[in-house]
Amino acid sequence: MTDTSVGFQRLAQLHSIRLVQPLLIRSHLGAVRQREVVDGQALLTWPAQYQPSDSFRGHFEFGLKYERLHFEFFSRLFAALDPEDVAAWVRDEPTGRYARRTAFLYEWFTGRRLDVPDAAANVAYVDAMDAGQYLTATRADRVRRWRVNNNLPGSPALCPLVYLGPQAERGWLYDVAAGVQRLDDAFGPELLLRSAAWLTFKESRASFAVEHEADQDDKVRRFAAAMGEFSGRLDDAMAPENLLTLQKVVLGQHALRVGMRQSPVFVGQSTFRAQIVHYIAPDEDRVPGMLDALRLTERRTRGADSVARAAAVSFAFVYLHPLSDGNGRVHRFLVNHLLAADKAVPPNIVVPVSATIAGSAQGRAQYDQVLEGVSKPFMRAYADGYRFGPHRVCPDGVETNFEFLQADDAQHVWRYLDLTAHVHYLSDLLRQTVEHEMAQEALLLRQHGEARAAIKRWVEMPDADADRIIRSLYENHWVVSGKLCQALPAIFEEGGAFYGVQGHLVEAVRVVFEDGVGAAPRR
């Protein structure tokens, strides 16, 4: 049977390219043009008039025109390709936009210079990526050699890829600034600010829960303080010295390991039978260069969509795993920091994404699932690529016997992760957190204030006593407990000075919480 594949899929076949991250678009020839989605992969059928020449230039130009970019594929293809295939194309079409884009991409990914002259000075510049469909650098670098605007979001050492789709089809992408503004409109800025302190603490506590760590008050308070002090206030959060500051604040004075990682690391679990590996992070020698590239990505994407870049930077960070400890918590800190730095949310407002993640089994499962979007295919590809050999001591003092034997091949994945699914995930997570978690917190705070005022209409008392009544009645479903009677006998014990109003107090509090006196307006 004749193979009818065209585009990037055909080139992968011709050059025996094995991808860890699959092509998300596969094209082939057929009778009529159509599109079918199977397991998240778009299968495109093209009629005969679209058939390209069965050559590198024919299929690569077709892919650039009609398919999604795939940086891991480009990296592997160009490493295997005879550079003359690209050079000959440029010589034949020295002013061609696709030839020049391809030549730029070849030199960018490989670091090798093609044996062809520079493009003529009168040729119009063309963008390396379509800024209308991808997360790109907001200020492109002009590459005079090819008359190409380099708007790739990172550098060859690390460059995450995010496909956003045409502007008209981005209804899925959450406008977190508008969501927070709706809360402000519904509850008022004062109430939202009052809820911020609890939300910060809640986010801190939940971040430890995501890591399956015990709820230790000192750690939680320390992380909450870091959120309040640094979120949105670091001009260069990815700088090693700032990451070290965050790490120290998060881990505390008694942490065993601080600083940048100088040893191999894998995410997994140990049993009495064996060690199970779920993901292998880049080897320690690559970490400094890749972290510098991620830092560059954060700077180059400033001004782009805040949710897209928060997802790209924070998830690239967690896959890089550059710190000796605390990577998960710093990863989730970066989400809030970047949203605040982009002024999508005020710097004193924390969006408690960890609370949404840790708040339910479904939340945890969804978080694990998005991480497994990279880790599972990675481990399928490299299931035989690691071993536990002789023990050795690394420069950071870590003793290990773990060895990853295919790092040179895996660098194509580590450097060029497609984080599109992670942006979709973070968008949904932020929507749920703002419109449910934060809205519910503001509502409870408003109800609490109205319940306190209702109590004081019957009996004037300190706020602490009113709060005790509210908390006890709420937790005991409007039944006066013996403990509350003992705490406030003047109101709740027979013969007390205010005993006659206890029924009114209970009803006043119940009405506020059950009958919706403080309820948020419906949308």
Instruction: Find out whether 72 and 416 touch, Cβ atoms under 8 Å.
Output: yes
pLDDT tens-digit profile of 11-22?
999 999 999 999
Q: Sort 162 into a burial class: Cβ within 10 Å, 0-12 / 13-18 / 19+.
A: buried
pLDDT for res 522? 29
* Nearest alpha-carbon partner for 344 in 419, 431, 421: 431
pLDDT of residue 222: 66
Helical segments of 301-438, H only: 306-320, 327-341, 353-358, 361-381, 407-415, 420-432
Maximum Cα–Cα distance across the chain: 102
Helix axes 439-456, 463-475, angle to 10 degrees: 120
| DSSP line for 136-165 | --SSPEEETTTTEEE--SSBTTB--B-B--
Please give the CATH superfamily to which domain 176-433 belongs: Fido-like domain (1.10.3290.10)
3-state secondary structure of 239: coil
What are the extents of the domains in the chain?
Answer: 1-79, 82-152, 176-433, 457-514
Query: Which sign, positive or negative, has the C-alpha torsion 259, 264, 267, 272?
Result: negative
pLDDT score recorded for residue 245: 85
Residue 520: its pLDDT value, please?
34
Contact by Cβ (8 Å): 466, 512: no
183-211 residue pLDDT tens = 888 888 777 777 766 666 666 666 665 66
> How many helices (H) and strands (E) are present in the chain, helices listed first?
21, 11
User: What is the mean predicted confidence (pLDDT) over 31-45?
Assistant: 90
97 to 61, 124, 129: CA distances (angstroms): 10, 9, 12
In terms of Cα–Cα distance, which of 70, 130, 125 is closest to 100?
A: 125
pLDDT value at residue 103: 98
Q: What is the 3-state secondary structure (H, E, C) of 450-499?
A: HHHHHHHCCCCCCHHHHHHHHHHHHHCCCCCCHHHHHHCHHHHCCCCCCH
Q: How far is CA 92 from CA 15, 217, 298, in A?
A: 23, 68, 38
Question: pLDDT tens digits for 231-268?
Answer: 788 889 989 999 888 887 777 665 556 788 999 999 88
Q: How many CB atoms lie within 10 A of CB 258?
A: 17
Q: How many CB atoms lie within 10 A of CB 145?
A: 16
Q: Torsion angle, CA of 348/344/364/262, rounded to 10 degrees? A: -80
Task: Please tell me which of 73-87, 261-275, 353-367 the model is most confident about, judged by mean pLDDT.
Answer: 73-87
Which pairing describes strands 266-270 and 275-280: parallel, antiparallel, or unpaired? antiparallel
CB 337 within 8 Å of CB 237: yes
| 310 pLDDT higher than 80 | yes
pTM: 0.89
pLDDT, tens digit, 9 for 90 and up, residues 76-117: 999 999 999 999 999 999 999 999 999 999 999 999 999 999
DSSP state of 260: B
The phi, psi pair for 222, rounded to 5°, reads -65, -45
What percentage of the chain exceeds 90 in pLDDT? 62
Phi, psi angle pair for 229, to nearest 5°: -80, -40
Tokens 């590198």 belong to 56
- In angstroms and rounded to an integer, the radius of gyration of the C-alpha atoms of the chain is 28
- DSSP states of 182-229 as a string? HHHHHH-HHHHHHHHHHHHHHHHHHHHHHTT----HHHHHHHHHHHHH
- Residue range 369-383: mean pLDDT, rounded: 96
Within 13 Å, how many C-alpha atoms sit on residue 308's CB side? Answer: 24
Mean pLDDT of the chain: 89
Mean pLDDT on 327-354: 86
Question: How crowded is the C-beta side of 59, counted as CA atoms within 13 Å?
Answer: 22
pLDDT for position 357 = 84
Least reliable range by pLDDT among 67-71, 168-172, 247-251, 301-305: 247-251
Place of tokens 């995410």: 267
What are the structure tokens assigned to 141, written together?
A: 């670098």
The residue assigned the tokens 């205010």 is: 498
The type of residue at 223 is F
Categorize the per-residue pLDDT at 523 as very low, low, confident or very high, splitting at 50, 70 and 90: very low
Listed in sequence order, the DSSP H helices in 301-326 are 306-320
Looking at residue 254, what is its pLDDT?
Answer: 57
| The pLDDT of residue 379 is above 90 | yes
Residue 513 near residue 452 (C-beta atoms within 8 A): no
Decide if pLDDT at 301 tops 80. Answer: yes
